[in-house]
């Protein structure tokens, strides 16, 4: 698919009021014998599920990773993951100013 055609499909999807438009800030992934199940969450509450074939799931992961890498390279900033943030927030701070 050509870039111009892809951009037109994306624009049409975003502007289509009949399509669901979701925002999520968390997710869970389960891989079964037949496919991949993704549970989308907002504020830790499930809002949607996606059933995805292995092939599409792997392609999605590769495309998303490529896009994130491009964003980080162009901005010179590394996007933090939720695991990174969670680890930093749960680190024990020294008591009484001890280092």
Examine residue 99 and state whether it is found in any structural domain, yes or no. no
Per-10-residue mean pLDDT of the chain, 99 residues long, equals: 88 96 96 97 97 97 97 97 92 64
Parent domain of 35: 22-91
Examine residue 16 and state whether it is found in any structural domain, yes or no. no
Query: Backbone phi, then psi, for 80, in 5-degree steps?
Result: -75, 145
Angle (CA) 1-49-17 rounded to 5° is 60
- How does DSSP assign 28-46, residue by residue? EEEE-SS-EEEEEEETTEE
Question: Which tokens go with 83?
Answer: 């695991």
Examine residue 40 and state whether it is found in any structural domain, yes or no. yes
pLDDT at 2: 80
Q: How many domains does the chain have?
A: 1
pTM score, whole prediction: 0.78
pLDDT at 33: 95
């Amino acid at each position: 698919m050509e870039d111009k055609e892809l951009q037109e499909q994306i624009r049409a999807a975003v502007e289509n009021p009949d399509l669901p438009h979701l925002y999520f800030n968390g997710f869970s992934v389960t891989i079964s014998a037949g496919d991949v199940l993704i549970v989308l969450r907002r504020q830790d509450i499930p809002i949607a599920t996606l059933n995805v074939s292995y092939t599409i799931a792997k392609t999605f992961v590769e495309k998303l990773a490529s896009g994130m890498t491009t964003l980080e390279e162009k901005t010179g900033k590394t996007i933090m993951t939720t695991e990174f943030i969670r680890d930093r927030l749960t680190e024990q701070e020294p008591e009484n100013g001890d280092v």
